Amino acid sequence: TYVVTENCIKCKYQDCVEVCPVDCFYEGENFLVINPDECIDCGVCEPECPAEAIVPDSDDRADEWLEVNRAFSEKWPNITRKGDQLPDSDEWKDKPGKKELLSD
79 near ligand F3S, judged by CB under 6 A = no
Which one of ligand F3S, ligand SF4, none is in contact with 40 (Cβ closer than 5 to 8 A by kind)? Answer: ligand SF4
15 near ligand F3S, judged by CB under 6 A = yes
Which one of ligand SF4, ligand F3S, none is in contact with 39 (Cβ closer than 5 to 8 A by kind)? Answer: ligand SF4
CA gap 79, 90 in Å, rounded: 21
Handedness of CA 58, 64, 65, 67 (dihedral sign): positive
54 near ligand F3S, judged by CB under 6 A = yes
Quick one: 37 or 83, whose CB is closer to ligand F3S? Answer: 83
Phi, psi of 34 (to 5 degrees): -105, 135
Q: Could you give the count of Cα atoms lying within 13 Å of 57 in the half-sphere of its Cβ?
A: 15
Q: Counting Cβ atoms within 10 Å, is residue 65 exposed (0-12), middle (13-18) or buried (19+)?
A: buried
Tell me which of 8, 9, 11, 24 binds ligand SF4, using CB under 6 A: 24
Residues that bind ligand SF4 (CB under 6 A): 2, 19-20, 22, 24, 34, 39-45
